[in-house]
Amino acid sequence: MRVDEEDSIIIFFSIAIKIQMFFPLEIDDRFLKAPFIFVMEGESSWVNNSFENRTRDIGEFDSFSELGDEGNKEVNVISVDLILPDDLLERILACLPIASIFRAGCVCKRWHGIVSSRRFLWNFSHVLPQKPWYFMFTSSDEPVGYAFDPILRKWFGIDLPHIKKSNWLIATSRGLVSFMDNDSRSELYVCNPITKRCRKLQEPPGLKVSDYSALAISVNRISHGYTISIVKSKLGPGNFFQSELSIHIYDSETRMWVTSCTEVLTGWRGGDESVICGGVLYLLLYSAGGGSTETRHGLIRYNLSNRSSHGLLIRSFIKVPCPLTCGRLMNLNEKLVMVGGIGKQDRPDIIKGIGIWVLNGKDWQEIARMPHKFFQGFGEFDEVFASSGTDNLIYIQSYGAPALLVFDINQKQWKWSQKCPVSKRFPLQLFTGFCFEPRLDMAP
């Protein structure tokens, strides 16, 4: 019997639903020990990325496999190999969530070969982007933690290559994660946390010892090249009202650093919050003292394509929308978004709420404010939460607990994630994290 393409798609998705129901979402030993092979564009050799002891599926809460009692029903078995050609099967498999793609690669040799092929990576890169995952560090000393998949609503144990401490500076863009040590600030890496491909970059230029540093990365959607920026801030000797600020840019195509700007700021200092949106670097500034409670924070922007080394602060200073206790910057679809703790008028160090704003020109537009029932668990003193986002999702996490709150900008919906499978071991244990887009086709 000959089946046309449209009927094949319907049949395959019916089979795919059955696979989701019958294959337990807890990844078994066969999945953990199966090598996953990727061929990246421009490479002639195969790269074996084994996920043994790297991905431990945590099944302590609801999952798709528990939503129906299909195990006792009679099923008519249909051989996919006899129905679907390779190219159609590749296109359908590319639409699955990342975790399901790994499981599909363990079904049979044919499927493993398909999801390992160069053409599959091309198909995967042209489907709708995956929803961003959130990696939560569960220890204040060691870089151990779990990643949350909002599609399957499950947590996965993932090891991050080379990172040594959870307090390292971290920035993400389009599937790549850059991280830099927070001590000497000389170790800098770029990696894909899904495929484990990683590259160590040469030591950044500039001040060997800086009081504050901010890291940002931007990946080009077409070429997959990337730009990394590091902003270093050093307080003046004996004069804390002045600071020397320098911007250093790395280009993955030339593999070279350029120090594009050096300036002395008065009354302000840099911090650890920066992001690149649409070719513009945004940096959150902190008052060095002497200002009013409404000017504890400010924002400057720096055009990376039209670099200038003079008058950075004077020409590009942007006021924050209200008195803030802290601010978190992120790039959502090339729009600058800030999640900030809203301070009380009489006690600016006390947080009374958490708001979300998007920058339009030099004006801030408030798009959401966290409902009180969610805000209650975040405490009230100064910087009490971590936050990052991409696409249309924003994650907000309390430093004092492994609870993770998700805000969907399109649906204007707040929702707690499934509970992270970790318990607080001691009262002062801290938690933090970052979000990233899971991709197979990105390599540093």
The one-character DSSP state at 222 is: T
Q: Measured in whole angstroms, how far is the alpha carbon of residue 240 from the centre of its chain?
A: 34
Q: What is the pTM of this model?
A: 0.80
Q: What is the CA radius of gyration of the chain?
A: 23
Q: Is the pLDDT of residue 277 over 60?
A: yes
**Cβ(348)–Cβ(307) under 8 Å?**
no
**Dihedrals φ, ψ of 112, to 5°?**
-60, -40
Q: Measured in whole angstroms, how far is the alpha carbon of residue 182 from the centre of its chain?
A: 19
Q: Is the pLDDT of residue 390 over 70?
A: yes
Instruction: Give the count of beta carbons closer than 10 Å to the beta carbon of residue 246.
Output: 20
Q: Is the pLDDT of residue 349 over 70?
A: yes
SS3 percent helix, strand, coil of the chain, rounded to 5, is 15, 40, 45
> How would residue 282 be classed by pLDDT, with cut points 50, 70 and 90?
very high
The one-character DSSP state at 361 is: T
Q: 3-state DSSP call for residue 318?
A: strand
The one-character DSSP state at 202 is: P
The one-character DSSP state at 204 is: P
In 136-284, alpha helices (H)? none
What percentage of the chain carries pLDDT values higher than 90? Answer: 39
Per the structure block, which two tokens stand in for 157? 């144990």
Nearest by Cα to 343 from 329, 323, 327: 323
Residue intervals of the chain classified under CATH 2.120.10.80 are 133-436
Q: Is the pLDDT of residue 76 over 50?
A: yes
**Cβ(92)–Cβ(9) under 8 Å?**
yes
What percentage of the chain carries pLDDT values higher than 70? Answer: 77
Assign domain 133-436 to its CATH superfamily: Kelch-type beta propeller (2.120.10.80)
Half-sphere exposure of 391 (CA within 13 A, CB side): 19
Q: Is the pLDDT of residue 34 over 80?
A: no
Q: Is the pLDDT of residue 45 over 70?
A: no
**Cβ(384)–Cβ(119) under 8 Å?**
no
- The span from the CA of 58 to the CA of 158, in Å, is 11
Q: Measured in whole angstroms, how far is the alpha carbon of residue 162 from the centre of its chain?
A: 17
Per the structure block, which two tokens stand in for 2? 């000959």
Per the structure block, which two tokens stand in for 78? 């249909």
Rounded to whole angstroms, what are the CA distances from 109 to 81, 166, 172, 241, 444?
Answer: 11, 38, 34, 65, 29
- Environment class of 209 (CB within 10 Å of its CB; exposed 0-12, middle 13-18, buried 19+): exposed
Long-range contacts of 2-8 (CB under 8 A, 24+ apart): 3/83, 5/88, 8/83, 8/84, 8/88
Per the structure block, which two tokens stand in for 243? 């600071």
Sign of CA dihedral 40, 43, 44, 48: negative
Q: Is the pLDDT of residue 209 over 80?
A: no
Per the prediction, the chain carries an average pLDDT of 78
When pLDDT is averaged across residues 94-107 and rounded to a whole number, the result is 82
Q: Is the pLDDT of residue 25 over 70?
A: no
With residue 335 as reference, give the H or E element that holds it. strand 335-343
Q: Is the pLDDT of residue 381 over 60?
A: no
Per-residue pLDDT of 311-339, as tens digits, reads 565 567 899 999 898 999 999 999 999 99
Per-residue pLDDT of 183-195, as tens digits, reads 888 899 999 998 8
Q: Is the pLDDT of residue 149 over 50?
A: yes
